[in-house]
Structures are given as structure tokens and as C-alpha cells.
Amino acid sequence: MDLLTAIFDAAARETMLFAATGLLIGGIDDLIVDLCFLAHRWSKRKAVRPTLATLPRPASPGAFAVFVAAWDEEAVIGGMLAAAVARFEHPDYRLYVGVYPNDPGTIAAATAVAATDSRIRVVIGSRDGPTTKADCLNTLWTALMRDEAAGRVTKAVVLHDAEDVVHPAELTVFDTMIEGRSVVQLPVLPLIRRGSMVSAHYADEFSYAHSVQQPVRAMLGAAMPLAGTGCAIATPILAAIAAERDGAPFDESSLTEDYELGLHVAARGGGSCFARIRDSHDGSLVAVRAYFPDALPTATRQKARWMTGIALAGWDRTGWGRPLALADHWMRMRDRRALVSVLVLAVAYVAVLLWPLAVVLHWLAGTPVADDRLATWLLTTTSVLLGWRLAMRAVCTARDYGWREAAWSLPRFFVGNLISLIAAPRALHRYLKLLRGAPLVWDKTRHEFPDLDMASNV
């Protein structure tokens, strides 16, 4: 019994010390970001919060090209396109929909809506799908360049996914905010499916990321990665990138071309802006709204792709940013800590299981549990930091979804942990396959277009 107790004691202590040290480092890192955000908010406390009413008119109003890449999107593309042309308030735009010759269902759904509105152009690629999303976007870029050669001048390219609900004032915001900048990103608001903890955890994560992290990146002058939807990229910067890539501005060898594009724009000196602007009448946020995966397998697939593209392949492909740009280095380190964080998290859960077992063995053996001051200090400190993290997430969720959802964000935090734990091995396996030369394939999930009345209430 004494030997068994000693073994469990040692295992519990070592796993706890490892996990607590990792959580302490990560917690301090998160705390610094939050303090930067709060300090910035305090410094701007007297400033007028931007709304559509206070948004200045663009100095040079322009035309926009909205790119929608679609593979196997028969179920949603028709509804998305019809809603977009009905909702957009901007007077000058075209919707370019990229489809594949071996996807007749998506082609039929897109062309049916295009027949009702001349602003929609269905562009069929030359290769069977699925290739990659970047390849499909490059097909749309080629179509846009043909239109520009015919005399049309486009101010910026706007990216959207086939399941998105667009905000009516989105292009109006882009028209003003893109002037003098290369990139503008809007917030993304995942729609919460009733009773689904999996889909709802995306709401908590995006609310925090797009309320705190992205504004801090912009404040510090760090490169701002794009979300892949709800973003506008100035046409000249895309043309400059395309000129160096045989006419293809979107990198077809990347799993997360949106994330990397934002970094490439910053490396070229392009200015960026994260725009949180509310409607003056109803207070709604000018943002992209869409359903995210609501099942554990699809959520882990998506998270694994993000981990592979950002934390693993992104490290190889984009490095650490501009020399001596400490904010860039710090933010990219945060982007790439996902797998380390998952390892720490896994060890922490092991420690949570081992610690009470060790206490029970001490009780059975009639021996006292050793007083470990270091362990007590680490557990206390990391618990305080965890409480801060949960409170910040809850406040951000409350701003976008109300306090009822903010209360649910606490148990959803652990749902997100479970998804990350399952996704990490899948991401590592996929990365190793890529290193061995496996081809890139568009790893997408099934989508559902939401009820527009429900989406408008978020």
C-alpha cells in the first residue's frame, strides 16, 4: 500500500505541476491581452462609439466584387444568393459564385437565382472538384480580371461563404473603411442552434476573439489574419500579390488561405482595420451570421483543419513575421500555441483524476497528505486566472447574445476543451500526411442556411 500510495502521489504531483505551470503561462498570456484591451477601452471611454449614423460617406464610392466559393452547396447556395441580393443596400456590386463542372446540383441552384438578377455571375471552373477553396477563389479572380479588362473598376473583393447571412449595410461599411487601407474585417457571429452545446461554443469563441483579440492585434499594429468571410481586400493589393504568383492571389497550397492572406497583406505594408459598427436604429452589429457545425465529428474536423493550417503548416509557411515586430511575434505565438495548450489540458485532466485517488489511498493507509505549498500556490493562481478567463468570455458573449447565453458559456467552455482534445491528434496526423506529400483537398462540412428572421435577431 505504501508503494502504491507513493506512486500515485508522485504521478499526481508531477502531472499537476506540469499542467499548472502550462496553465499559468497561458493564463498570464491571456491576461496581458485582456489588460491591453481594457486599457485601450479606458483610454477611449469618452469617444463616440461608431454607428452607421456616424459613419462618414466614402470619399470615392466604388464597386465591389463579392466572391463565394461553392463545392457541394446545393442545399444553401440558392438561399444565400437570393438573400444577399435582397439585403445588400449598396448600389454597385457583383456576386461571383465559383462552382465545379462535376457539381450539377450546386450549378443548378446558383444559376436559378442568377437568372433572376444580373448582378450574380456563376463561374464554372475548369477542373473537377473538390480542389481547394483557394483554387476556387482564384477562378473567380480570373473572371473578375476579365471584367476589369472590359472596363469595370472594382474597389475591393469581399469574401463570403455559401452559408452566410450578409448584413444589409456591409458593403456600405466597406466602402468607407477600405479607403486608405488594404483590408477590413467584420465580426463573425455564429448562430446558436437550440439545444446544441457544440454549435453554441463557437459563439463564445468568436465573441471573445472578435471583441478582444482582433482589436488588440489592430491596436498593437500586429498583422491581422482574416476570418475567410466578411472581409474586404482592396483590389490593388490582391493584384500585386497575383502578379507574383502567376495571376493567383489566393495560395492553393494552403489549408487556411484566409489566415495567411491577412499576414501577407501586412508584410507588404498594407493597413488593416477590424470594424465593429452597430446599426443606429436597432443596435445590431454589422456582422456576418451563419450556422457552424452542431455535431462533435464535424466540429472536430473543422478545428483540426484550423490547427493544421495555423498552428503547424502556418509555422512552416509564414514564419514569425516582420523582423523586430514584437507584436507580430507575440500574436503568431498565440496563434500557434493550440497543440501545446491541448497537451497541457490533457495532462490537467489526468491530474484531476489522479489527485483524489492519491488522497483516497492516503486515507486508506492512514497517512497524511503532504503539505505542498508550491502546488497550493499554483492551483490557487491558475484557478483565479481561469475565473478571469471565464468571466471575460461571458461578458463578450453577453454583449453579442445576451446574459442567458453568457451563463451557458461556462459549461460550453468545457465542451470546447473536449473538441480541442479530439481535434489535436487529427490535426497532427493530417500535418504528417502533408509532409509526406498528401494532396490538399477541400475538407468542408455540410451547411444549412438559417431562417432570416432568427438571424436578424442576433
CA distance 364 to 353: 17
pLDDT tens for residues 9-21? 788 888 988 999 9
Give the DSSP per-residue string, 272-308: EEE---B-TTT--B--EEEE---SHHHHHHHHHHHII
Residue 93 · residue 120 · CB < 8 Å: no
pLDDT at 455 over 60: no
- For residues 107-117, average pLDDT: 97
Q: Which of 103, 150, 111 is nearest to 131 (CA)?
A: 103
pLDDT at 400 over 70: yes
Cα gap 315→377, rounded to integer Å: 34
From residue 234, give the alpha-carbon distance in Å to each of 138, 262, 366, 449: 15, 12, 72, 28
For residue 132, what is its C-alpha cell? Answer: 481547394
Q: CB–CB of 157/233 below 8 Å?
A: yes
Averaged over 176-188, what is the pLDDT?
95
Residue whose cell numbers read 459564385: 97
Instruction: Return phi, psi of residue 272, to 5°.
Output: -135, 160
DSSP state of 396: H
Residue 233 to residue 334: CA distance in whole angstroms: 24
Query: What are the tens digits of pLDDT across the range 278-332?
Result: 987 777 899 999 999 999 999 999 999 888 888 777 766 766 666 657 888 888 8
The rounded mean pLDDT for the chain is 89
- Residue 452 pLDDT class (50, 70, 90 cuts): low
Q: Give pLDDT, residue 318.
A: 67
DSSP β-ladder status, 183-185 and 231-234: antiparallel
Contact criterion met (CB below 8 Å) for 68 and 80: yes
**DSSP per-residue codes, 94-150:** EEEEEE-TT-HHHHHHHHHHHTT-TTEEEEE-SSPSP--HHHHHHHHHHHHHHHHHT
* 1 pLDDT above the threshold of 80: no
Give the rounded distance of the alpha carbon of 126 from its chain centre: 30
Write out pLDDT tens, residues 35-51: 999 999 898 877 778 89
pTM over 0.85: yes
Characterize the bridge pairing of strands 288-291 and 183-185. Answer: unpaired
Taking alpha carbons only, the member of 340, 292, 303 closest to residue 422 is 303
| Plot region of 88 (φ>0 → left; ψ -120 to 50 → alpha; else → beta) | beta
Provide the β-strand partners of residue 190.
290
Q: Return the higher-pLDDT residue of 362 and 197.
A: 197
Instruction: Determine the pLDDT at residue 312.
Output: 79
φ/ψ (deg, to 5) at 167: -90, 140
**Cα gap 77→69, rounded to integer Å:** 10
- CA R_g for the chain: 24
Mean pLDDT confidence for 214-225: 88
Helix (H) or strand (E) holding 391: helix 373-401
* Residues 406, 412, 414, 416, CA torsion sign: negative
Percent of the chain with pLDDT over 70: 95
Say whether pLDDT at 28 is over 70: yes
- The DSSP string of 43-58 is HTTTSPPPBTTTPPPP
What is the predicted pLDDT for the residue at 445?
Answer: 73
d(CA 206, CA 412): 13
What are the tens digits of pLDDT across the range 229-244?
999 999 999 999 999 8
More confident residue, 434 or 136: 136
**β partners of residue 69:** 98
For residue 456, pLDDT over 60 is answered with no
| Cell output for 380 | 490557487
**What confidence tens digit (pLDDT) does each residue in 191-208 have?**
998 878 999 999 999 999
Which pLDDT does position 50 carry in this prediction? 86
Neighbours of 436 (CB within 10 A): 7
Is the predicted pLDDT of residue 105 greater than 80, yes or no?
yes
Predicted pLDDT of residue 191: 94
